Amino acid sequence: MTRRKTWLYFIPYGLWLALFVIAPVALIIYQSFFDLGHHFTISNYSTYFQSATYLKMTLNSVWYAFLITLFTGLISYPTAYFLHQLKHRQFWLLLVILPTWINILLKAYAFIGIFSQAGLANQFLTFIGIGPQQILFTNASFIFVATYIQIPFMILPIFNALDDLNPAFVNASRDLGASNWQTFRRVIFPLTLPGVKAGVQAVFIPSLSLFMLTRLIGGNKVITLGTAIEEHFLTTMNWGMGSTIGVVLIIAMIIVMTLTGDQRPKGGTPR
Amino acid sequence: MKRLVSLIIGLLAICGLLAYSSSQLERSSGSTGDKVLNLYNWGDYIDPNLLTKFQKETGYHVNVETFDSNEAMYTKINQGGTHYDLAVPSEYMVAKMKRAHLLQPLDKSRLTGWHNFDPQFLNQSFDRGNRYSMPYFWGTLGIIYNDKFVKASQVQHWQDLWSPKFRDQIMLIDSARDIMGMALVTQHQSMNTTDPQKLLAAEKKLNRLAPNVKAIVADEIKMYMAQDEAAIAVDWSGEAAEMLANNHHLHYVVPSEGSNLWFDNLVIPKTAQHYNAIYAFLNFMSKPANAAQNAAYIGYATPNAKAKALLPKSVRDDRQFYPTQATIDHLQVYRDLSPAKVELYNDRYLEFKMHH
């Protein structure tokens, strides 16, 4: 009886997985083996790996995703750490999360307003005597906006990891004579590393295929794999090639997941 | 668990209620039933007053649904499940839909306004004899410049854009066919060439334009130009009309040596249902007074010669949107290329974007 009931509970979950996770991925892989004439082929893959354009684009995407993740991490860890010390920390956390409720497109347009020739940023630069600069359509502005958008997704897991950290460890470390820095380096940081890893996963993967921002803020000066996918699906209607790039991204995702994944604790490492 | 169940039931109840009330609303606004016409159009691409007038005259209620790209429209109609009576594809998309058997021929015997159209905008390569399409608006590709930064004499021709004076000043519309086409015109080639060597040469030419290119953007180019973000843009006349309306320092030039001539057209998709309404609407829209009112509202050039005659002189003699005959003779209509050839254009263009 109980056995049957467990099965029943599994049905919606199984259906969900099959329909919205397995089927789309399978379809993408299937599509990637067809050329424009709907012939079965692996030419999409050979094109991809032989084309300097695509390889350069891949390197570009990885490089920018790395930079975005790095800056996001550098900002998010201290932020999460100090947020965690505050009295009404759930409230402050809510304020940090709030921007994610706003559509990404709206945020991008807001930044266009801030960074444009007559925008706030340039008004300020003029006011302090530097004079207006070209801010939009630079790599720096692209990384800035992407980092801004990704920050909440990094803060949240780190904050949760800090929350899970047993304060007894920190106290013990202090009692045993460790300095603040030593406590942080030897106790707090290693124990919150899983949160950082989860944050890296949540930020790095979407950053690989950002395409709206590359156009709106970057003015297409930064070309990532997302740009190519958009073009293949919408303009050339070469779904095969678009899917191939999608598969490459999925593989990249698996690699990142493995690299940042939870290694099983070996021996006596405390968890 | 109990709370979860009641939460789910509550959500379902709200959804059901919303679905019911929206169907009620639709019924009361008369959008279902027989006296309707389902029009699938670009956003803000018809004077709403005309729709009211049409309903008053004929009793048909027009439901407008909008799309933002030819490709999105194609995909939606191709996948079926829709019941659009009329759609408004651009010329190359008419050819593509025709080949995919998504269109129904027009019954010319039921059309009363055909003689109003200017013959030079009929019988084009994408639909010989206009078997499937009635032209709606036409336009060009050209240069928009801001007279605060640039003198008119500096930007009359495509080649002028390559001048070192315009370093980091130019915005391009993100469209492979148009930007490659512009480079091809400067090299005296056809905008429809499929010769890989010529396309490679065009890409090389574009790479030399890269230092002048500030950004390659889409729709937001209108906003940027209106805000003086760049001095020069390459875009379609339709977009230009909107920019000019928002910033009177902006002007539009169609280079006389050649450019693209595009058409948006009314067509009947395979899934159409309300034929009386369709022909009533096509006849209504081809009446000179209505076409002129629509042209005045949208600001694009009308292919309806009698309607053009009704427009104020300042509009119909505006060389920005109704170029001289000599310029029109140099304009080229895009031929619908096979997917492999489109890919050729896009690959070269992507290389240029990477370079830039």
The CATH number given to whatever domain includes residue B41 is: 3.40.190.10
Q: Is residue B23 part of a domain?
A: no
Chain B interface mutation, best of A236, A238, A241, highest count of B Cβ atoms under 10 Å: A236
Does residue B152 share a domain with residue B292?
no
Does residue B255 share a domain with residue B146?
yes
Does residue B195 share a domain with residue B77?
no
B226 touches chain A (CB under 8 A): no
Exposure class string for B87-119: b at 16+ Cβ within 10 A, else e: bbbbbbbbbbbbeeebbbebeeeeeebeebbee
Minimal-distance CA residue of chain A relative to B172 = A219
Q: Are strands B250-253 and B133-146 parallel, antiparallel or unpaired?
A: antiparallel
**Binary contact (B346, A221; C-beta < 8 A):** no
Instruction: Concatenate the DSSP letters of all residues of B119-186 into one string.
Output: GGGSS-TTSGGGSSEEEEEEEEEEEEEETTT--GGGGSSGGGGG-GGGTT-EEEES-HHHHHHHHHHH
Torsion on CA atoms A259, A261, A266, A268, rounded to nearest 10 = 130
Q: What integer pLDDT is reported at residue A3 of this predicted model?
A: 63
Chain B interface mutation, best of A137, A224, A244, highest count of B Cβ atoms under 10 Å: A137
Does residue B198 share a domain with residue B302?
no
Give the integer Cα–Cα distance in Å for B175 and B79.
25
Give contacts of B340 with chain A, Cβ < 8 Å.
Answer: 36
Closest CB to A236 among B174, B228, B346: B346
Does residue B238 share a domain with residue B156?
yes
Q: What integer pLDDT is reported at residue A271 of this predicted model?
A: 41
Whether the predicted pLDDT of B303 surpasses 50: yes
Q: Give burial (CB, 10 Å; 0-12/13-18/19+) of B228.
A: middle
Does residue B253 share a domain with residue B231?
yes
Domain count for chain B, please give it: 2
ipTM rounded to 2 decimals:
0.81
Q: Is residue B220 part of a domain?
A: yes
Q: Are strands B133-146 and B232-236 parallel, antiparallel or unpaired?
A: antiparallel
Q: What integer pLDDT is reported at residue B180 of this predicted model?
A: 96
Mean pLDDT of all residues belonging to chain A: 88
**Binary contact (B354, A56; C-beta < 8 A):** yes
Q: What integer pLDDT is reported at residue A4 of this predicted model?
A: 66
Q: Is residue B154 part of a domain?
A: yes
Does residue B289 share a domain with residue B191?
no
Whether the predicted pLDDT of A179 surpasses 60: yes
**pLDDT tens, B3-57?**
888 888 888 888 888 888 877 766 655 455 678 999 999 988 999 999 999 999 9
Chain A interface mutation, best of B207, B220, B334, B354, highest count of A Cβ atoms under 10 Å: B354
Q: What integer pLDDT is reported at residue B290 of this predicted model?
A: 96
Does residue B343 share a domain with residue B267?
no
Q: Is residue B61 part of a domain?
A: yes
> Which amino acid makes up residue B114?
W
Residues found in chain A: 271
Does residue B156 share a domain with residue B48?
no
Does residue B226 share a domain with residue B165?
yes
Does residue B332 share a domain with residue B231?
yes
Does residue B181 share a domain with residue B127?
no
Give the integer Cα–Cα distance in Å for B130 and A36.
29
Q: Give the H or E element holding residue B61.
A: strand B61-67
Domain hosting residue B177, numbered range = 141-261+324-355
Percentage of chain A exceeding pLDDT 70? 95
Closest CB to B346 among A112, A215, A235: A235
Average pLDDT over residues B258-267: 96
Q: Is residue B10 part of a domain?
A: no
CB of A147 closer than 8 Å to CB of A72 = yes
Q: Give burial (CB, 10 Å; 0-12/13-18/19+) of A225.
A: buried
Closest CB to B71 among A109, A216, A237: A237
Q: Give burial (CB, 10 Å; 0-12/13-18/19+) of B17.
A: exposed
Residue B76's φ and ψ, nearest 5 degrees, are -65, -45
CA angle B192, B196, B201 (to 5 degrees): 90
Q: Is residue B156 part of a domain?
A: yes
Closest CB to A219 among B71, B72, B217: B217
Q: Give the H or E element holding residue B64.
A: strand B61-67
Which of A245, A238, A150, A249 is closest to A202 using CA atoms?
A150
CB of A163 closer than 8 Å to CB of A89 = no
Say what the pTM is.
0.84
Q: Is residue B349 part of a domain?
A: yes
Q: Is residue B1 part of a domain?
A: no
Which of B95, B13, B56, B105 is closest to B339 using CA atoms?
B95
Mean pLDDT of all residues belonging to chain B: 92
Average pLDDT over residues B114-123: 94
Query: What is A64-223's CATH number, 1.10.3720.10, 3.40.50.2300, 3.40.190.10, 1.20.1260.10?
Result: 1.10.3720.10
**Binary contact (B220, A57; C-beta < 8 A):** no
**Binary contact (B229, A117; C-beta < 8 A):** yes
pLDDT band at A267 (very low <50, low <70, confident <90, very high): very low
